[in-house]
Structure 1
Amino acid sequence: MLLLLLISSAFLLPWAGAGRIIGGKEVVPHSRPHMAFLKIKFVNQSGIHTSRCGGFLIRPDTMLSAAHCVAKRRIVNITVTLGAHNISVREQSQQRIPAARWVIHPKYSPVGYINDIVLLNLKTKAKINKNVKQIAFSGSNEGVTVGTKCRVAGWGRTAVEGRGSDVLMEVELKVQNDEPCKQLFHNYLRHSMMCVGDKNGKKTTYEGDSGGPFVCNQKAYGIVSRGVGTKPFPKVFTRISYFEPWIREQLRKFALQELPGSPSSD
């Protein structure tokens, strides 16, 4: 794998966040059954375009991702692919389901990627099996200690000048204290963000991985959000525990059952 050479952007475009897996490795096929691949079709002045992000299933018909993947765009449609390893082929394990609606956090701001979280409600429920499963997420009182090694998977780019990966890749990154992110990111908010990365600069995420889960001990604690300039370290992930009450409020509105493996909403 190449070392990270992030694409600079004075305006921090959505993909200037945390997109591709650099310095990681291909996962055992279908060993991350909670992972979702988002194909987002949108319109701008030059026509119809597509972009890609990651996400993860938390209910049979609901998933989480990053708000910047869908915000400030005229969306034509979003297709969610579950049960995938190689997204370039139509594997028998895959389930492709349109998103019926999505709810961006009401206080999301593209300036600093504040409250960078979105819930997507699928048009039909996914069929839960060995290749497609839900993942629990951290409750409002749950945290993960500095130094903990966790994993991030995605289909983002594996080279600076190139396309996204066809197969699911994964990298191991450490939870950092807040100081590196406070120094680099003017809008860093420790209560709603996590500082993550590899201090050696050899492993990171980049274009195409945004929205994927930061998984520690089989539970999602963060969402891939952003980075800056040419720096591979550190990265900012959305801290899920801070948003747990909002997530549950939206789930109630979706009229869904309670999440298995997560704290009660009662």
Structure 2
Amino acid sequence: MEKSAEHIVVNDKVIMLKMDKGLDSEEHKHFGACGGNITAFNGTLISPNYPHYYPPNTNCVWRIMVPDPNFQFRIQFPTLKLEGVQPDCEKDWISVNGIRYCGEHDRTVVVPSASSTLTVKFHTDASVSSVGFRAEYSSFNPAGECQGMHTCGDGRCELMSNKCDGWVHCKDRSDELNCVCTSDQFRCQNNMCKPLIWVCDGVDDCEDMSDEANCDCAAGFFACHRNSCMPISALCDGNIDCPHGMDEADCEKIDVNCTTNTYKCADGKCIVKPNAECDKVQDCLDLSDELDCDCGNQLAIRRRIVNGNDAVIGEWPWQVSLHFATLGHTCGATLINNWWLLSASHCFQNAESYRYSDRQLWTVYIGMHSLTFTDSGIERRLIKRMIIHEQFDNITMDYDIALLELSAPVRYTSYIQPVCLPSPLHVFPANQRCYVTGWGLLQEGGRLPVILQKGEVRIINQTTCNNFMGNILTSRMLCAGYLTGEVDACEGDSGGPLVCEELSGKWFQAGIVSWGQGCGRYGHPGVYTRITKFREWIHRNIGIDGNT
């Protein structure tokens, strides 16, 4: 189950709600008939008897062709409720160009198609039936809509500079397919190209682990990149021998070549020490690594999340409650300075009945401990500006991050404090103790708590988690919790913080509650947006130099 109202995960695949556009009277409609040949630019298909239950032992085939062969189709399912379980779909299913879909998807499923024809098949067995489906197909001219740009399978246009850059911009990944890797890129086993500096960095960027394979070296050597090994003597010798600078990490050296994985001081010099910021050790010569460190402080503590505990007033002073219209608490957020909050993009995706994207319908409560509004010192704000990450994917939940600008700044108190944001090089090692907080359900299908809940979780190795989750995690996600279940975030915790305490006593935000299957289930820990991947994006959007 996904972790916010109107958001779920079905059979390990996240499906998001969108507004139901209804039926256009100008569209070509194909109702009632079970299959057939259709020639049209756009139209609608429904299962037999829709919106009532479809009959058993049914097989329908629609073959749809656009009149102009220069056009391509895309198809979406505002309603898709079939008996069966992904990915096998052995009972009832609908297939689009050979790919099957089944189960109860309460949110719009979008299926791209890079051709001028569609073959849609619908099959039901002799047992239980369900509501069925309603599909809307439309066509577009990729040459006309995306001149000089790359056309994704769903018709979206992407800059040619985004093609083959190692980052997936199209939902069908077409911008990263059939690429010729450059000299500074690594070819994954799945033939995708990724920057060399991502090889053997401990993160599965290829999403098939090929960039992290064969990184072990013989005694006296260490892994550098592309399966190459360097002698131990090259470690901490003042020279960066590996593209990502890992041979000079943990050396407390300064004035090294700046890379995407170094910490840049205000004077432009770089250090390769991980977790250098706000650790009460002055690493930069200009002392800039210890500036702007008035964050991550628990000023008013006395030392339910699923299987969590009541938080003490002031224990998590950066925790924010987001209330939507008349629904009350809907999502969480984190205070990162006196003007800005960090939350999850999926909290602000429209549903059939609610316009979550309308900033004027949200109310922000900072310094809250009890949802009964009995606490003193609660600050109420509206949202002045809402920034959803431009690459957010509501199917895979990749880039699930959002910034919220407050209508007026807040004043810091013992109960209102910002969290510290980690640098891109900050390391949150596997098994590190962290905390997830929020007012989400106390158990799957249970009730919302009144008091803010806290739950201790552990960072889980990315490879291990990906194996449990079916290899659907991206490098911008991280897992935390326990593979045996137990403590986990749940519905209503979305957008809230996963925070970890460093030796300095400062609390850094490692993740944003994003998605998961159920709450506290065995083998399905919580999945969070990885903050270290978004430090530059955050600073760029709130007007701070991304290098500091």
The answer to whether the superposition gives a TM-score over 0.5 is yes
- Quick check: which one's strand share is greater? 1
Q: Displaced runs of 4+ in structure 1, greater than 6 A?
A: none
Judged with a 3 Å threshold, the aligned counterparts in structure 2 of structure 1 residues 229 and 33 are, in CA distance, closer, same or farther, namely closer
Cα deviation 1:209-247 (Å, max 9, x = unaligned): 111111111111111111025735222110001001000
1:181, distance to aligned residue in structure 2 (A) = 3.2
Matches of 1:54 and 1:156, distance apart in 2? 9
Q: Which amino acid aligns with 1:224?
A: V
Secondary structure of the 1:56 match is strand
In structure 2, the partner of 1:83 is 367
1:58, distance to aligned residue in structure 2 (A) = 0.3
Matches of 1:242 and 1:33, distance apart in 2? 24
In structure 1, the partner of 2:344 is 66
1:162, distance to aligned residue in structure 2 (A) = 3.3
Cα deviation 1:12-67 (Å, max 9, x = unaligned): 3569xxxx7111101111211111001123xxxxxx75661111100101010111
In structure 1, the partner of 2:10 is 9
Q: Which amino acid aligns with 1:214?
A: L
Aligned-residue sequence identity (percent) comes to 28
1:123, distance to aligned residue in structure 2 (A) = 0.2
Larger Cα-atom Rg: 2
Q: Which amino acid aligns with 1:12?
A: V
Of 217, 221, 229 in structure 1, the residue corresponding to residue 510 of structure 2 is: 221
Question: Does the 8 Å CA contact 1:64/1:120 hold for their aligned counterparts?
Answer: yes
Q: Which amino acid aligns with 2:406?
A: L
Matches of 1:208 and 1:185, distance apart in 2? 25
Greater RCO structure (CA 8 Å; 6+ sep): 1
Matches of 1:129 and 1:49, distance apart in 2? 28
Q: Which amino acid aligns with 2:404?
A: L
Of 412, 416, 422 in structure 2, the residue corresponding to residue 132 of structure 1 is: 416
In structure 2, the partner of 1:110 is 394
Cα deviation 1:114-167 (Å, max 9, x = unaligned): 000000000000111111111111111112101101001101111333331111
1:8, distance to aligned residue in structure 2 (A) = 6.5
| RMSD, matched Cα | 2.3
Structure 2 residues without counterparts, runs of 5 or longer: 1-7, 18-303, 502-506
Q: Which amino acid aligns with 2:433?
A: K
Matches of 1:203 and 1:65, distance apart in 2? 21
Question: Does the 8 Å CA contact 1:104/1:118 hold for their aligned counterparts?
Answer: yes
Judged with a 3 Å threshold, the aligned counterparts in structure 2 of structure 1 residues 178 and 169 are, in CA distance, closer, same or farther, namely same
Question: Does the 8 Å CA contact 1:180/1:234 hold for their aligned counterparts?
Answer: no
In structure 1, the partner of 2:214 is none
In structure 2, the partner of 1:265 is 547
1:185, distance to aligned residue in structure 2 (A) = 4.5
Matches of 1:14 and 1:29, distance apart in 2? 34
Structure 1 residues without counterparts, runs of 5 or longer: 1-6, 42-47, 259-263
Question: Does the 8 Å CA contact 1:9/1:229 hold for their aligned counterparts?
Answer: no
1:93, distance to aligned residue in structure 2 (A) = 1.5
Matches of 2:495 and 2:327, distance apart in 1? 19
Aligned length: 240
Matches of 1:8 and 1:249, distance apart in 2? 31
Secondary structure of the 2:10 match is coil
Secondary structure of the 1:137 match is coil
Q: Which amino acid aligns with 1:246?
A: W
Judged with a 3 Å threshold, the aligned counterparts in structure 2 of structure 1 residues 87 and 14 are, in CA distance, closer, same or farther, namely farther
Matches of 1:189 and 1:8, distance apart in 2? 16
Matches of 1:50 and 1:110, distance apart in 2? 23
Judged with a 3 Å threshold, the aligned counterparts in structure 2 of structure 1 residues 8 and 142 are, in CA distance, closer, same or farther, namely closer
Matches of 1:86 and 1:80, distance apart in 2? 14
Question: Does the 8 Å CA contact 2:441/2:448 hold for their aligned counterparts?
Answer: yes
